[in-house]
Amino acid sequence: MRYSPEEAMMHEKVMKMVPTFKDMITTLSKDPVQLKAFIAYLGSAAASVRQEDTASLKNNILVYILNDLREDYLDPPVSKMDTKICVMDMHTKFLNNWIEFMEKVKDGTYCVKTSGWPTFLYDLVANQYDRKNKDHSLFCGPLIQVFRHIFTGPLLAFGSQRKGTKPSKAEIHQMMAVTGQTIAYAAVQTHFALSSVKSWSSKDGEFNYEVFFNNIMDLFETLRPMTRTCGLLKP
């Protein structure tokens, strides 16, 4: 079996994180039944965690996308949500007439491609989008609240002090830094939460979540690694 560069890179990272994993797989490989059961268990565990995060975000995302909690509100809700998953390069067209824009997406006139960065990845409150420098304020929008919601807990989404006794995912997994993988995961969850899709799928129309995840991974791992991540793990 041939692996994609992204799969090979992920495998290498898992090997570093769990030094005993290689020996475990080698041992299990001698018994195809046990190996198959182990792989099924890993898939089931990953799906369970993903579903838990998805369900938790579906309600909270309506708050996280507001620019100002004191003054902003959803009116109409669909326009606020759709503008956040609209790719940044088409954002102006959306704002000019969001109803017409959505109709053109439906009839195929406009194609929202996975290669474009969605609006929710940017901080458009404090910064203007710069077409010549698309990294500016990237990963500093509502994604911050979603990231904190997932990894440090909903109570810390807006930077409050931790009060609960249940350890967060960051504490359980001893996360000491933000990584391309964790940001990509939060971005996928954000897009899914903002979409109208009812059940998990790797695609939402023309938008491919696997490609989206890998695009973010590539940005951090191979193209132009970033040194700042907007304090995602800091309360």
Count of alpha carbons within 13 angstroms of residue 131, beta-carbon side: 5
DSSP state of 203: E
Report the percent of the chain where pLDDT is more than 90: 5
Cis peptide before 5 (omega within 30 of 0): no
Q: How far apart are the C-alpha atoms of 142 and 124, rounded to whole Å?
A: 10
Give the per-residue pLDDT at 225.
45
Q: What is the mean pLDDT of residues 194-207?
A: 78
Whether the Cβ atoms of residue 114 and residue 215 lie closer than 8 Å to each other: yes
Whether the Cβ atoms of residue 114 and residue 205 lie closer than 8 Å to each other: no
Whether the Cβ atoms of residue 203 and residue 211 lie closer than 8 Å to each other: no
Beta strands 207-208; 203-204: pairing state: antiparallel
Q: How far apart are the C-alpha atoms of 22 and 80, rounded to whole Å?
A: 46
Supply 209's token pair.
């979540």
Domain boundaries, the chain: 60-223
Q: How far apart are the C-alpha atoms of 200 and 226, rounded to whole Å?
A: 30
With cut-offs at 50, 70 and 90, classify the pLDDT of residue 187.
Answer: very high
AA identity, residue 154? P
Q: How far apart are the C-alpha atoms of 225 and 175, rounded to whole Å?
A: 19
Q: How far apart are the C-alpha atoms of 105 and 27, rounded to whole Å?
A: 51
Q: What is the mean pLDDT of residues 151-164?
A: 75
Q: What is the mean pLDDT of residues 35-51?
A: 86
Give the per-residue pLDDT at 1.
58
More confident call, 221 vs 195: 195
Q: How far apart are the C-alpha atoms of 35 and 9, rounded to whole Å?
A: 22
Q: What is the reported pTM?
A: 0.75
| 127-154: pLDDT as tens digits | 677 777 777 778 887 888 899 889 888 8
Give the per-residue pLDDT at 157.
79
Supply 187's token pair.
């971005």
Whether the Cβ atoms of residue 135 and residue 224 lie closer than 8 Å to each other: yes
| 77-101: pLDDT as tens digits | 554 445 556 666 677 777 777 677 7
